[in-house]
């Protein structure tokens, strides 16, 4: 099965969004003090939502590329 440019771009988007989400959850779980976790988490809601959206876009691009290469 041949991998197209759309597949690789989707894979890069998925990887970058996964790294950002892991970094956010690592900061909340390990680095932040218990009293400031909620306030820190509230400030990162747009980044979390954006990362989830980019993960969905990346997965859909990878699926679209796989479906178009099968035809």
Arithmetic mean of pLDDT, 39-58: 89
Per-residue pLDDT band at 69 (split at 50, 70, 90): low
Number of domains in the chain: 1
String of b and e for 21-52 (b: at least 16 CB within 10 Å)? Answer: beebeeeeeeeeeeeeeeeeeeebeeeeeebe
Crossing angle for the helix pair 45-70 and 5-26, to the nearest 10 degrees: 150
pLDDT band, residue 14 (cuts 50/70/90): very high
Provide the pLDDT for residue 68. 74
How many whole angstroms separate alpha carbon 57 and alpha carbon 10? 7
Domain that holds residue 24: 5-70
């Amino acid at each position: 099965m041949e991998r197209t440019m759309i597949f690789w771009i989707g894979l890069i988007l998925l990887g970058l969004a996964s790294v950002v989400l892991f970094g956010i959850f690592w900061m909340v779980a390990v680095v932040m003090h218990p009293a400031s976790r909620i306030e820190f988490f509230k400030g990162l809601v747009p980044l979390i939502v954006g990362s989830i959206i980019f993960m969905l876009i990346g997965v859909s691009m990878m699926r679209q590329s796989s479906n178009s290469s099968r035809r």
